Amino acid sequence: MAVGSFAMQQLRAAAEQAWDIRWQIASDMNGDGVVTIADVGLWIKWIFLAPGDLLVLLTLIYATPIALFLEISTENISGFMSAALSLFTWLLIVVVLNR
Ligand SMILES: [Ca+2]
C-alpha cells in the first residue's frame, strides 16, 4: 500500500504542476516572438482540447487512485485520450444546444 500511496502522491504532484502549465494562454503561443497564423492554430488546439484536458487533470488530481488504475498520467494531457474526450464533449454540447 505504501508504494501505491507514493505513486499517488507523485501522480497528484505532477498533475498539479501540469494544471498550472495547461491553463496558460498567450497571443504568442509558440514563443517565437511574433504572432502568426501558427499561433491561431495553437489557440484553436488550446480551446478544442480544453474539455479533455480538464477531465484528465481533474481525474489525476481528485480521483488519483482511479487515474493510477487506468494508467492515466500527465502524458495524456493534450494527447489522444484528451482529443477523444474533447470531441465527445464538444459533440455533446452541440447536441444539447440543438435540442
Ligand atoms: Ca508565435
For cell 480551446, the residue is: 47
Q: How far is the CA of 43 from the centre of ligand 1 (A)?
A: 11
* DSSP classification of residue 99: -
Predicted model pTM: 0.88
Per-state percent for the chain, helix, strand, coil, to nearest 5: 75, 0, 25
Gap from CA of 57 to ligand 1 centroid (Å):
26
Gap from CA of 18 to ligand 1 centroid (Å): 22
The secondary structure of 22-68 as a DSSP string is HT---SSTT-SSS--HHHHHHHHHHHHTHHHHHHHHHHHHHSHHHHH
- Could you tell me the mean pLDDT of each successive run of 10 residues in the chain, 99 residues long? 80 96 94 96 97 98 96 97 98 97
Distance 70 CA to ligand 1 centre (A): 36
Distance 45 CA to ligand 1 centre (A): 14
